[in-house]
Copies of this chain bind each other. A is one copy, B any other.
């Protein structure tokens, strides 16, 4: 195996020889150009081009005591909501030269063990966590060491965990949604929730109740339907709504997916949106503006969330800033066709 062998992959020593310098100089020319002369740098760069050298990351990482990658902990990769955040993360991170690893936290097979590994040690230099439901127990070791990789939460977070996060104002979003219904004249307002122990569910419910009470409207437990953010659970909620004797005329769903499932099921029972009932979603996923009717919803900037989280992690990795603070991005109401005045009864 020499330089004419098609399998030959040049090492730093080959570049050094070609440039007539030492390996140390080559290394410096690559990672810290200011340390070498203009002339040497040029010679090294030429030698690199000539030999077709590419650094061996395993060797670099071993020596530098890092991994060159960050991992994103995603609950349910196949959910488009998360994949768009992942997209933002990947854009920023791969530009910064980091590998982006993904791990699905809801994978049945030993996901916990895998997550523990990522949290604990040397598979990744940092993590971005999109899942607020990581079991406490997994963090036990984490808190104990000081050499733990930095964590940034995005979207969801773990209350009281003490690591920075990039989130939106979920309560505010709910307030916007409910106030919109109130302004349209609705008096009886319902809410389709996500999983009860989910942080987003909790905040959005708080906002919903606050807006309702602020306007002096009833908060009827019969009008709160539990879901899990999925399309299918929106369908289930619609059936519950149909089975309610005194139905709310406006319904705020805690995700667009649930709103779509909700509307789809109502439609197949002959209930019209917005004539019979108004529906507001949350997220503004792509389909929202193309659904029939076009869905009024709370827009969250998903790609921006991912990018912000990535930049925050980058800041923490570069070390000079342990003072990174949590960021809260703004949400806004997007009025479309799924909301209107309540039916005149």
Docked complex Cα distance between A54 and B148 (Å): 14
Residues 97-119 of A contacting B (Cβ, < 8 Å): 99-104, 107, 109-110, 114, 117
Residues 199-227 of A contacting B (Cβ, < 8 Å): none
Contact across chains for A94 and B103 when beta carbons are under 8 A apart: yes
Determine which residue in A54, A91, A101, A302 has the highest number of CB atoms from chain B within 10 A of its CB, and name it.
Answer: A101
Contact across chains for A267 and B287 when beta carbons are under 8 A apart: no
Known: A117-B54, A292-B264. A107 touches B83 (CB 8 A): no
Nearest CB in chain B to that of A266: its residue: B292
**A84: interface (CB < 8 Å):** yes
Flag the segment in A55-63, A152-160, A168-176, A315-323 that touches B: A55-63
Number of interface residues of A (CB under 8 A): 61
A264's contact among B86, B95, B290, by CB below 8 Å, is which?
Answer: B290
Nearest CB in chain B to that of A265: its residue: B290
**A279: interface (CB < 8 Å):** no
Nearest CB in chain B to that of A231: its residue: B290
Nearest CB in chain B to that of A290: its residue: B264
**A270: interface (CB < 8 Å):** no
**A245: interface (CB < 8 Å):** no
Docked complex Cα distance between A84 and B80 (Å): 9
Nearest CB in chain B to that of A67: its residue: B58
**A328: interface (CB < 8 Å):** no
Contact across chains for B107 and A91 when beta carbons are under 8 A apart: yes
CB distance from A110 to the nearest CB of B (A): 8
Contact across chains for B77 and A122 when beta carbons are under 8 A apart: no
**A6: interface (CB < 8 Å):** yes
Given pairs A54-B122, A57-B67, A91-B109, 8 additional interface contacts (CB within 8 A): A6-B147, A9-B121, A9-B122, A78-B87, A83-B83, A99-B101, A260-B287, A260-B290
A and B contact pairs by CB, cutoff 8 A, 29 listed: A6-B147, A7-B146, A7-B147, A9-B122, A54-B117, A54-B121, A57-B67, A57-B122, A57-B123, A58-B62, A58-B122, A78-B302, A80-B83, A82-B83, A87-B104, A91-B109, A94-B114, A100-B101, A101-B102, A231-B286, A260-B287, A261-B290, A264-B290, A264-B291, A264-B292, A267-B292, A287-B287, A291-B291, A291-B292
